[in-house]
Amino acid sequence: MIRIGLLGLGTVGTGVVEILEKRQEELKFLTGEEIKIKKILVKDINKKRKIQLEENIITYDYDEILNHEDISIVVELTGDLEQGYRYIKAALESGKNIVTANKAVVSKYLEELSSLAAKKDLAFLYEASVGGGIPILKSLKEELALNKITEVEGILNGTCNYILTEMFNEELDYEEVLEVAQEMGYAEADSTADVKGYDTLRKLRILGTLAFQGEINENDILLEGISEIIPFDIEQIKKKESTIKLIGEVKELEDGFTALVQPTIIKEDSYFANVNNAFNSVVFRGDNVGELNFYGLGAGMLPTANAVLGDVIDIIKGSYRKGNPLGKRKLKNLNTKLKNEYYLRISSPNDSIYKSIENISKELLSKKDNIAIITKEIEYLEIVELLSSLGIDNNNYFIARILK
């Protein structure tokens, strides 16, 4: 029998319990083992829950899991950065395999925890931290044996994709759509990490570091979120027979890489234009396999729980990639070589501001209530520095790169 210690019984934790109960016979046939959750760590032991649990299975004392000799796999689903890190590190040090969906922990401590797991000859798996139910990390690790990966890009956040889809299709304000997304469970009450792009950035950092076999940190990635978009911007984009998505992208360039998370204007007939609502999609390119596309629900109780249990199965069967999956390549950040045309909108404009940005303008779209331009090919940071020098607050402008 395989015994699991589950840390957290929120949305995903509940999904893990439900799938295990529903698919117990099938899992035993597949793995040759009965899989049982032995202990569940929660903050509030007296909280009423939607699922039936065995007596004495819940605990608020992590040591009950850490010191339990029969528990061989710890599934960390707390969603907390520093506490989650401490739980994972302690479990690895005590000889337990780890599965987590905690993208914040994986992104910040990827090298340290991967090294510790390899040193202890244990599993540290985190499929659910990127792309929800999409099996992207396992596929990426497998292809690395045969391919040099040269590019990874994707729509990696369901909340942002839902908001942009609804604004584009239903002509609603950003705040209206965000409120609906929160009611439907697509967005958290505090949606900052999603709409400011941090969630996408963390996922891209994980994907890029694995794909390029060299360290790409969070601060290596150019970042722009979607929170300042307004219906006026959507109107201008539609006139160009285009749509807009928040896209994360890492590309190999010479002996280094470029990395960005930015709202991106794409033609209506392009691949990512058809990825809508809360769906995610990831594309990577290898020198032998060519382009591989992955599509599916990027979040939600059951898709994410499904990815978590996929990792559990791989540990039981011993089918995961052993050792440290991270490479030792030394990569240069070449974002300064990255140039694009950009859509730029500035609210509350005046003649002085327009004259100041005239030099970077290729096409004037509007000069009335908002200044809107298509820039010449230019570095993103040049635009940001210009806006800063003009004293324009980041709440008063919106930037999106344009892909032709």
Summarised one tens digit per residue, pLDDT across range 204-258 is 999 999 999 999 999 999 999 999 999 999 999 999 999 999 999 999 998 899 9
Question: Taking the domains of the chain in order of start, what are their residue ranges?
Answer: 2-136+305-317, 339-402
pLDDT at 114 over 80: yes
Active site residues: 203
In contact, 21 and 313? CB cutoff 8 Å: no
Kind of pairing between the strands at 256-267 and 222-223 = parallel
| Crossing angle of helices 136-143 and 198-212, rounded to 10° | 20
12 belongs to an annotated ligand binding site: yes
Q: According to the model, what pLDDT value does residue 27 have? A: 97
Q: According to the model, what pLDDT value does residue 193 have? A: 94
Q: Which of 76-90, 104-118, 179-193 has the lowest mean pLDDT?
A: 179-193
pLDDT in tens, 141-181: 999 999 999 999 999 999 999 999 999 999 889 999 999 88
197 belongs to an annotated ligand binding site: no
The Cα–Cα gap between 312 and 291 comes to: 28
Q: Which of 115-129, 177-191, 314-328 has the lowest mean pLDDT?
A: 177-191
72 alpha carbon, distance to own chain's centre: 28
165 belongs to an annotated ligand binding site: no
3-state helix vs strand vs coil in the chain, percent to 5: 40, 25, 30
21 alpha carbon, distance to own chain's centre: 28
Q: According to the model, what pLDDT value does residue 396 have? A: 93
Q: Which helix (H) or strand (E) holds 342?
A: strand 341-347
pLDDT at 354 over 90: no
Instruction: Tell whether the torsion through CA atoms of 17, 21, 24 and 26 is positive or negative.
Output: negative
The Cα–Cα gap between 320 and 137 comes to: 11
2-136+305-317 is classed in which CATH architecture? Answer: 3-Layer(aba) Sandwich (3.40)
Name residues whose C-beta falls within 8 Å of residue 100's C-beta, 6 or more positions apart in sequence: 75, 76, 77, 84, 88, 106, 125, 126, 128, 129
The average pLDDT across 2-18 equals 96
pLDDT at 186 over 80: no
14 belongs to an annotated ligand binding site: yes
CATH of 339-402, one of 3.20.20.80, 3.90.870.30, 3.30.70.980, 3.40.50.300: 3.30.70.980
The average pLDDT across 88-98 equals 98
188 belongs to an annotated ligand binding site: yes
Answer yes or no: pTM beyond 0.85: yes
Q: According to the model, what pLDDT value does residue 52 have? A: 85
pLDDT in tens, 187-201: 778 899 999 999 999
φ, ψ (nearest 5 deg) of residue 111: -65, -45
214 belongs to an annotated ligand binding site: no
Q: According to the model, what pLDDT value does residue 185 have? A: 73
pLDDT in tens, 120-140: 999 999 999 998 889 999 999
Q: Which of 39-48, 65-74, 198-207 has the lowest mean pLDDT?
A: 39-48
φ, ψ (nearest 5 deg) of residue 263: -60, 135
Which two tokens mark 153? 């890009």
pLDDT at 3 over 80: yes
275 belongs to an annotated ligand binding site: no
Q: Which helix (H) or strand (E) holds 243?
A: strand 242-253
Residue 144, CA distances (Å) to 149, 201, 204, 399 in order: 7, 22, 17, 34
